[in-house]
Amino acid sequence: DAGITQSPRHKVTETGTPVTLRCHQTENHRYMYWYRQDPGHGLRLIHYSYGVKDTDKGEVSDGYSVSRSKTEDFLLTLESATSSQTSVYFCAISALDNEQYFGPGTRLTVT
């Protein structure tokens, strides 16, 4: 298995609170991604990174921000969580032109 961990694995939070999810890799891959998984939508890309301090938006980036200060860590922040952000969040990593490897996921519930 690719060395990808996500923390926390489960979180319940209240509407309006900030939340940060962490993705950590031990593979030294250049690319990292954050997806959300919702029934009927498959996985949708939120943000991705193509290097330290280099990030870009995906198709569902509104309400989310990311940071990557080290190769191994990619953080996803919900500045003010809303109920529509209740989802399962997956991190993925890849080398250039190679397949993506996924972490175990974080289940986030916003009440």
Which of 34, 48, 64, 74 is the binder for other proteins (CB under 8 A)?
48
CA atoms of 71 and 45, how far apart (whole Å): 19
C-alpha 4: how far from chain center? 12
In angstroms, the Cα distances linking 96 to 4, 21, 23, 32, 49 are: 17, 24, 19, 11, 12
Query: Given CA atoms 26, 45, 7, 88 in this order, what sign does their dihedral have?
Result: negative
Residue 104 Cβ, how far from other proteins at the closest point, in Å?
5
Q: Per-residue contact track with other proteins, 2 to 41, x per CB under 8 A?
A: --x--------------------------x-x------xx
> How big is the site for other proteins, counted in residues (CB under 8 A)?
24
Q: Which residues bind other proteins (CB under 8 A)?
A: 4, 31, 33, 40-45, 48, 50, 58, 90, 92, 94, 96-97, 99-105
